[in-house]
Structure 1
Amino acid sequence: MYTYDTVAEAVNGLKQRGYTIDFNLEADRLCCTETPLELSPSDFEITEFYRFEGNSDPADEAIVYAIESGKGDKGLLVTGFGISAEGLGEEMIEKLKVKH
C-alpha cells in the first residue's frame, strides 16, 4: 500500500494510478457530475483508503477512498472524517465504514 502525508498527495497519487473519476456521495449511491456514472453500494469496491487527521483543526480530518466499479471504472471519493449517518442509506453506511 502507498503512503501519503496529505489529502492532496493522496488525490494526486491515486489519479496518476488511474483513479480519475471524482465521485460525490448521495444517500444511496455514488455519482459523478461530469459523467452519467452512478454506482449503488453493490456496484463498487473500496480498493484503498487513506485517513488524515488534523493536528489542530478537526476540519482538516478526511478520508480519501479509491473506488473501483465492477466494470473497471476507477475514481475517488473524499469525505470528511467519519461518515455521518444523516441522509445516508444503511447499505451505503456499511460500505463506507473503515474496517481497519
Structure 2
Amino acid sequence: MKPIYHYTTVSEALNDLNEMGFTYDFNINENEILKNPHQHEVKHIYRYEGDSDPGDEAIVYGIISNSGKKGVFVAGFSANSDNQAAIILAKLCIEGSDQCEI
C-alpha cells in the first residue's frame, strides 16, 4: 500500500515535497509539461480544500521528468479549470494511476 499524505495547507505539502527533493518549479516552466507531457511522471498528488471557500481549493503535484528534474506544480482545482498543464497532469495521473500517490 502506498503512503497517503495529509497536509493542513498547501505550504506544508510544498515543504514536505521540497524535503524529498522536489525543488524544481514547474509552474514557472509549465511549457516543459505542455510540449512533452509523456516525459513527466506524477509521483505525488495532494488536494487541498479550504474550510469555507471553494476558491481556496488547490492541487499540488510532485513530478519527476525523464531528464531527472524533480519538482512541483500547483494549480487551482475546480471543475471548470482551464489550466492546460493541470489538465495534462490530471490525465497523466489517470493513465498511470498505479504510480500516483494521493
Q: Could you state the TM-score of these two structures normalised by the residue count of structure 2?
A: 0.70
Quick one: structure 1 residues 44 and 84, their matched pair in 2 at CA, closer, same or farther if it must change by over 3 Å? farther
Given that 1:83 and 1:96 are in contact with CA atoms closer than 8 Å, whether structure 2 keeps it comes out as no
- State the Cα distance separating 1:72 from its structure 2 match: 1.5
Q: Which runs of 5+ in 1 are unaligned?
A: 32-37
Q: Percent identity?
A: 42
Equivalent position of 1:3 in the other structure: 6
Q: Which has the higher contact order (CA 8 A, sep 6+)?
A: 2
Alignment partner of 1:72 is 2:68: yes
1:1-100 to structure 2, matched below 5 A, reads 1=3, 2-24=5-27, 30-31=30-31, 38-39=32-33, 40-82=36-78, 84=80, 86=82, 88=84, 92=88, 94-95=91-92
Quick one: structure 1 residues 96 and 30, their matched pair in 2 at CA, closer, same or farther if it must change by over 3 Å? farther
Q: CA RMSD in A?
A: 2.8
Higher helix share: 2
Higher strand share: 1
Separation of aligned partners in 1, 2:58 and 2:52: 14
How many residues get paired?
A: 89
Q: Which runs of 5+ in 2 are unaligned?
A: none
What SS does the corresponding residue of 1:64 show, helix, strand or coil?
strand
